[in-house]
Amino acid sequence: MSKKYKYLDSINFPSDIKKLSQSELKILADEVREEIIDAVSETGGHLGAGLGVVELTVVLHYIFNTPNDKLIWDVGHQTYPHKILTGRKDRIRSLRIGKGLSGFTKRSESEYDPFGAAHSSTSISSALGIAVANKLSNKSDNVIAVIGDGAMSAGMAYEAMNNAGASKTKMIVILNDNDMSIAKPVGAMRSYLAKMISGKMYFSFRETVKLIFSAFSKRFSKKAGEAEDFLRSAFTGGTLFNSLGFYYIGPIDGHDIDSLVSVLKNAKDINYDGPVLVHIKTKKGKGYKFAEVSEDKYHGVSKFNVTTGVQEKSKSNIPAYTKVFANTLVKHAEKDSKIVGITAAMPSGTGMDIFGKKFPQRTFDVGIAEQHAVTFAAGLATEGFKPFAAIYSTFLQRAYDQVVHDVAIQSLPVRFAIDRAGLVGADGPTHAGSFDITYLATLPNFVVMAASDESELVKMINTSVNINDKPSAFRYPRGNGIGINLPSIDEKLEIGKGRVIKEGAKIAIINFGARLNECLIANENLSKKGIKPTIVDARFAKPLDENLIWQLAIDHEVLISIEEGSIGGFGSHVAQFLSDKNLLDNNLKYRSMILPDRFIDHDKPDLMYKNAGLDSGSIENKVLDALNSKVLIKKTN
């Protein structure tokens, strides 16, 4: 730590927090908040969400016996205060840096992270699993899930709550409500009611009422229960959660440490046969004025000046792929009223905010609900609209059944704009776009494209607009393009046709996606050694350009494919074609360069690709190895 703090300096683990008084907890919370702001200003990362749960984090570790009591955070981007208080404060400035702390919870990082999470809405399901395991093992440890209100928009959260309520499993769910209108603004009376309803006095009253009515008849006992539910719901608005089998408490002020201590103590000791939900109201970005007034811009930040709040901007004038996509789609939508844009709670991340400003009536943010987003798009497609579902590769995984069942089987022309394709840097393996080539190109009748640069991305968008009889997808990486002029929206691609970039001899490198520039760098180095490969941009993984690949196989001794994806993708389709056509014999050698069969930790993207063996140096070595093996084979023969 770069600063000196009155209490935080002596806090290394939650056991140290328990030595403090409630009044001292308030000072500790202020110090944790200050440390987060200072640290993230140096590293970048998620800021607003963590600032909003500082008091909650302090009190959770004060009340519960972590790590024996399991504390599970949803998404994980609000866990910076949790990391600071659980033995990681001295490493907090290594957040999202190579070999440093993950930006999310990670089981291998700490025993205080019982479940890894970087995608949303998994906390209640995993907490229920742990709680049931405790029950089966006769363990009495508490299980607490903290879920953000945004994550509550996903169906998985309600599936888990329905299961938890029906199973009557003891667990606590804390709903961190920081921007949704689930309830009216909180105040002193609401905090008092929450404490009263969660306390032993209320439970005694409840049980007394039930006993009195049960002495008369079962019918009256039922009415007493209904009256009790009505009383609780009338005060707190917890009808939905009550109906799911949860005992609802709240809402309370999530920044009021005294209220949090009282309510969480009661929730911990409550004598209720089933799950409990504590509803807290918090302010995203709490304690940092710039984040409080601009929650979206300070959700995830680059390095910034603490005093002014100004974030570092990219020094490049080259537009990001995301912006190229958005601006191109806007141009098409100006001419075609059937084009609509869909995002799953990522308008700025996917560029749909740009589209939405121009066409608010044709832009749909469905929340953290990728499954719904895909089927919603399919429904639009049945009525002649042209839906563009802009979803990160890693998040589209969550809707794979819908892609198969609702889109592919019915051959509906949904266009998937797959952002964050390939390795993504600081967010690490949870957000890497590693699998979409494989999971889409395996589907019949799907058009799967990958842009090698921003110009190609524009052409692929142009092409997809007119694909009206089948689904299509185009993938593109995070970050800026390479700095070339963009074509008009009239330039389209012939479906299933690649392009030859450089003519060479003996060996051909077939690129699919954004590794083309690395292929060209490798080509320059190889040329100095007298080796001049043919360089090809495949453009399509499906349909494959079979004529081009056939010709390459006939004219070259070695073929090497390269892609930013896992096994089963473009390279697998090329290998299948070569095998089917009996082209793989001693006169042709084929090598496939793909992401390795492991998850790659967060780092700078170029270092991640080097680690993955997909940088220019690795391509050059692959060529040399393939040529050497060819020589050895000839000598043997």
- Residue among 450, 400, 453 at smallest CA distance from 563: 450
| Structure tokens that stand for 469 in this block | 């009889």
CA distance linking residue 455 with residue 461, whole number of Å: 10
Q: Which residues pair with 480 in a beta bridge?
A: 320
CA distance linking residue 48 with residue 178, whole number of Å: 10
Which 3 state secondary structure label does DSSP give 80? helix
- Residue among 294, 275, 274, 276 at smallest CA distance from 284: 294
DSSP string over 252-320: EETT-HHHHHHHHHHHHH---SS-EEEEEE--TTTT-HHHHH-TTTTTEE-SB-TTT-PBP--S--SPB
In the DSSP assignment, the letter for residue 90 is: G
CA distance linking residue 158 with residue 387, whole number of Å: 27
Residue 53 sits at φ, ψ, to 5 deg, of: -115, 20
CA distance linking residue 95 with residue 602, whole number of Å: 10
Residue 219, amino acid: R
Residue 166 sits at φ, ψ, to 5 deg, of: -70, -35
CA distance linking residue 102 with residue 335, whole number of Å: 44
The residues that are catalytic are: 284, 370, 398
Helices assigned H by DSSP within 137-244: 155-167, 188-198, 200-214, 218-236, 239-243
Burial class (CB in 10 A: 0-12, 13-18, 19+), 400: middle
- Residue among 291, 59, 81, 26 at smallest CA distance from 178: 291
